[in-house]
Amino acid sequence: MKTERRSRPRGTNVANDALTSEVIPVRHFFGTRNAPAGVHAHLQLGHITGGPQEFPVIVALKQIHSTRVVVIRGDKGLGTLEQTEGDALITNQPETLVVVRTADCVPVLLVEKTKGVVGAIHAGWRGAVGGIVAETIRACADEFGAKPEHMHLAIGPSIGPCCYEVDDQVINPLRSRYPGWPGVLQETREGKGVLDLKQLIHHQIRASGVPDSQIGRVDHCTHCRSDLFYSYRREGRVNGTMCSGIIL
């Protein structure tokens, strides 16, 4: 497989069709626009596992920019795809690939190995400001007894502060809900600012009790890297999305 050589963030493994984070100790991927197949075509993770392998159980959601966390237990929901609304999936079921799709929003992957729990989160600005990542961490604790101090989370490629100018529609709820907003928003002119979604999510993960050493970031900007990623803001429409997923 041809290796992507340029602009490799620390702690990230980069290939043409997927990226991985060194903080996640189980099979996972952050997809790129060069992925040969999506979840609809029996997604293969041979480049991660060391050999071709197909997973019959792939679970995704109808994403709605919410803070809703969907729990997958036993046979509940297994084998379904895009039938349930929500923006985060958690499960303790082995060989169950949980997937989210993004094209500027932030994909976040989670694992707590001691309890055998994984999760995939789609966090746009609404979800991030609403605290979807913290909600997912709480749901893992409530549903499966997972502990934040044992969790590992990786924040995937998304639009960066270099390219993400926002207006009062975003700024006002951010200011009202997040006291630490000056650390993630740089005001540029009246009613405008640039938002660092990754940093906002990183702060929320740390505040939830996850050690900083167990938080990884893939700091590619989807808007800048047209060779690797689709970008809704750059392209002005949905030309495609990247799939990111994790499996026990």
Using CA atoms, how far apart are residues 33 and 222, in angstroms rounded to an integer? 10
**What total of structural domains would you count in the chain?**
1
Using CA atoms, how far apart are residues 202 and 208, in angstroms rounded to an integer? 10
* Residue 67 in domain: yes
Q: Give the global pTM.
A: 0.87
C-beta pairs of 8-17 under 8 Å, 24+ apart in sequence: 9/217, 9/218, 9/219, 9/220, 11/216, 11/217, 12/216, 12/218, 12/219, 15/47, 17/47
The Cβ of residue 199 has, within 10 Å, a number of other Cβ atoms equal to: 17
- Between strands 192-195 and 215-217, the pairing is unpaired
pLDDT digits (tens, 9 = 90+) for 151-205: 999 999 999 999 999 999 999 999 999 999 999 999 998 899 999 999 999 999 9
* Residue 111 in domain: yes
Confidence at residue 42, expressed as pLDDT on a 0 to 100 scale: 42
* Residue 178 in domain: no
At residue 7 the predicted structure's pLDDT band, cuts being 50, 70 and 90, is very low
CATH of the domain at 30: 3.60.140.10
* Residue 100 in domain: yes
Instruction: Enumerate residues 6+ apart whose C-beta is below 8 A from 219.
Output: 9, 12, 157, 160, 198
Could you list the residue range(s) of the whole structural domain that residue 24 is in?
A: 12-159+201-247
